[in-house]
Amino acid sequence: MSTCTERTECKILIVEDSQDNREIYRECLVSAQNLDCQIRECESAEEALEMCIKDCPDLILLDYILPKLDGLQFLRQAIDRLETMPAVIMVTGKGSETIAVEAMKHGVRDYVVKGRLTPEQLVNIVVNTLNDRQLKARIDAQLQQQEVVARIALKISQSLELSSILQAAVEGTRELLGCDRTLVCHLGSGLNGTIVAESVLSGWSVAECDRLESNDPVDPADRIEHYLQGHKTAISDIESADLTDYDLHRYRQFQAKAVLTVPILVRDTSTSPLSESRLWGLLIAHHCQTVHHWNTDELDLLDRLSLQMSIAIQQAELVTDLKAILATQQAIEHQLRERVLEIEQANLQLSATSHLLADRNQELNDFSHIVSHDLQAPLRGISNLAQWLGEDLGGKLPAKNQQQLDLIKDRVVQMTALIDGLLRYARIGRETIDSLPTNIGQLLAEVVDILAPPPNFQVLFAADLPTIETQALLLKQVFTNLIGNAIKYHDRPNGRVEVLVTDLGSVWQFTIVDDGPGIDPEHHHKIFGMFKRLVSGDNTKGTGIGLAIVQKIVEAQGGSVWVESKLGKGSAFSFTWPKLA
């Protein structure tokens, strides 16, 4: 019941076999300023029981002495047959403490004696009884609401399954409101939604599909803003309300006559605890059988339930996010484990390769020793034998034989140089050489002194060349080969070689420029190969290994080497030499 004025609205049934008494009671109640009552009358308990079954009143003014059944017998049958007992005031012509006690045991709110009852007392007793009944009904409803809300809150604390929480909520809501349908609609883009939970009283249709497509002519943004501000939509009678054709059609589809819609607002706490609310969905209640005036208690109840659902939804979304994060972490951990296994396998392979490389290096060292000792020893014997023959025979040898003997000596020298070149090539990259501060000018002077060019041959370089931190022995070997080739293969005894040094930031660039015969560009790609010489024959100088040694040393340092040359135009051999950090 709701109190909209100071007058108490009620339905009263007067059960009295005396017509005079019934008229007195009616006149008192109708004329009361604080009552707004609908009064019905009957003479017997049997008739009163039938009237209560058809339309139960709020209060019964019951005479104890009635035809056939007395007031107590009526109460016993009413308790058995009525779902809800109305408030009862028993009136008797003769007071009896025994009857009063028995009446109170059967739920009678007050027991009065007719002869002692004034009109004012009757009205006061009726008003107080109705107020007590309304207060008890309100307390019972609040307790029931608290029980349902507590049950839902317990469900939230015990379960992470959002669907079961929402289903428990709609069932509890329908039970408390006494309505015919409650549902939760999860909204997507615009006002398109999905029914995720529904409770329907038997006899009314379940939603035909779980999708609710919005063709609302009203701008969805306006409705969403309406709900974001916490506003509810309470419609007591859809037929008399000022609704759009779209809304009226939608409610009729659900067979609804009265509708209550409450927004479910949640906060995205994953980004910020103070983030703005967003409209997750709607909690909707329908009365389908009759129109219904939604009272304040019902609105407050749905507000509380909506808040509980918001908590459950945020909890479920948080769990979903945590599961996604956990799944991602597990996937990353799985990938890391696989990567660790791959690295371990690679390390095993690298270790095996390192051992194999160490074995191959040892074999190469052994081979170098063999080449150095076993091949050079016979060459020294041949050289000594040729020298001894020349000394012993002196001038007795014919010129042709002397020429052949000299050719043997030259071939021994070339073979010895070839073996030395092979040994130097094999050692590149396998020897540990310390880096030292090295003055480029001093290093070039040492190279020129070793090479001892002809007296009229010029080897030029700047006087103020820098000092760099490098493996001087390797750089000296590169200069020795390149400058030595420029001298060796020059076509004039008065040739000229110039060494240029350029700082390119992260590397030094060295260029050896000569004015010799030059090299045909079609042979540029060949000259850095092993045993590649552009001319052949007995008078050929060199072993064909020098430039291969240069390329291997430079590339091992992380640099590069190239040539620019044309026939008759001289040559320019350049290489880069990385700076040490």
318-349, pLDDT tens digit by residue? 888 888 999 999 999 999 999 999 999 999 99
pLDDT surpasses 90 at 290: yes
Three-state SS for 236-255 is CCCCCCCCCHHHHHHHHHCC
Cα 554 to Cα 111: distance, rounded to the nearest angstrom? 121
| CA angle in degrees (0–180, nearest 5) for 423-427-433 | 135
Residue 269 carries which side chain, given as an amino acid letter? Answer: T
- Three-class SS of residue 463? coil
pLDDT surpasses 90 at 77: yes
Share of the chain above pLDDT 90, in %: 40
Tell me, what's the pLDDT at 372?
A: 62
Instruction: Kindly report the number of other CB atoms within 10 A of residue 112's CB atom.
Output: 17
* Average of per-residue pLDDT across 443-457: 91
**What letters, b where the CB count within 10 A reaches 16 and e where it falls short, cover 302-341?**
bebbbebbbbbbbbbbeeeeeeeeeeeeeeeeeeeeeeee
pLDDT surpasses 50 at 574: yes
- Higher confidence at residue 102 or residue 274? 102
What DSSP string describes 414-439? HHHHHHHHHHHHHHTTTS----EEEE
- Higher confidence at residue 370 or residue 94? 94
Q: Confidence band (pLDDT; 50, 70, 90) for 386?
A: confident
Phi, psi of 434 (to 5 degrees): -70, 150
Tell me, what's the pLDDT at 116?
A: 79
- The pTM (predicted TM-score) of the whole model is 0.47
pLDDT surpasses 60 at 539: no
- Higher confidence at residue 487 or residue 432? 487
pLDDT surpasses 60 at 214: no
Tell me, what's the pLDDT at 313?
A: 85
Cα 510 to Cα 266: distance, rounded to the nearest angstrom? 72
Count, in order, helices (H) and strands (E) of the chain.
14, 18
Cα 227 to Cα 213: distance, rounded to the nearest angstrom? 18
Tell me, what's the pLDDT at 64?
A: 92
Tell me, what's the pLDDT at 302?
A: 86
User: Token pair 């059609």 is at which residue?
Assistant: 249
Q: Confidence band (pLDDT; 50, 70, 90) for 565?
A: very high
Q: Confidence band (pLDDT; 50, 70, 90) for 272?
A: low
Distances from the Cα of 67 to the Cαs of 64, 194, 285, 453, in angstroms? 10, 61, 47, 154
pLDDT digits (tens, 9 = 90+) for 139-150: 887 787 777 777
Token pair for 114: 């007719």
| Short-list 565, 576, 459, CA closest to 522 | 565
- Higher confidence at residue 399 or residue 501? 501
| Short-list 174, 175, 172, 182, CA closest to 150 | 172
Of 20-29, 206-215, 271-280, 351-360, minimum mean pLDDT range: 206-215
pLDDT surpasses 60 at 3: no
Instruction: Kindly report the number of other CB atoms within 10 A of residue 398's CB atom.
Output: 8
Highest mean pLDDT among 213-217, 432-436, 531-535: 432-436
* Average of per-residue pLDDT across 502-510: 94
Q: Where are the beta strands (DSSP E) in 121-274?
A: 181-187, 193-200, 211-212, 233-235, 258-267
Cα 369 to Cα 243: distance, rounded to the nearest angstrom? 106
Tell me, what's the pLDDT at 96?
A: 82
Task: Give every CB contact of residue 149 below 8 A, 6+ residues apart in sequence.
Answer: 172, 304, 305, 308
* Average of per-residue pLDDT across 255-266: 93
Of 46-50, 64-68, 354-358, minimum mean pLDDT range: 354-358
Cα 343 to Cα 353: distance, rounded to the nearest angstrom? 15
pLDDT surpasses 80 at 511: yes
* Average of per-residue pLDDT across 520-533: 75
* Average of per-residue pLDDT across 181-210: 83
| Short-list 52, 33, 58, 42, CA closest to 123 | 33
| Short-list 521, 500, 525, CA closest to 576 | 500
* Average of per-residue pLDDT across 207-221: 59
Tell me, what's the pLDDT at 504?
A: 94
Mean pLDDT of the chain: 84
Q: Confidence band (pLDDT; 50, 70, 90) for 397?
A: confident
* Average of per-residue pLDDT across 168-179: 86
Of 199-208, 254-263, 390-399, 489-498, minimum mean pLDDT range: 390-399
Tell me, what's the pLDDT at 83?
A: 86
- Higher confidence at residue 61 or residue 472? 61
Tell me, what's the pLDDT at 543?
A: 61
Tell me, what's the pLDDT at 442?
A: 94
Residues 299, 263 contacting (CB under 8 angstroms) = no
Q: Confidence band (pLDDT; 50, 70, 90) for 294?
A: very high
Highest mean pLDDT among 146-155, 239-248, 392-401, 456-465: 456-465
342 class by beta-carbon count within 10 Å (0-12 exposed, 13-18 middle, 19+ buried): exposed
- Higher confidence at residue 375 or residue 31? 31
Residue 45 carries which side chain, given as an amino acid letter? Answer: A
| Short-list 491, 488, 514, 507, CA closest to 560 | 507
Tell me, what's the pLDDT at 347?
A: 92
Q: At what angle do helices 119-158 and 296-370 cross, to 10 degrees?
A: 10
Sign of the alpha-carbon dihedral angle for 230, 236, 239, 241: negative
Q: Give the length of the chain.
A: 581
Q: Confidence band (pLDDT; 50, 70, 90) for 461?
A: very high
Tell me, what's the pLDDT at 1?
A: 36
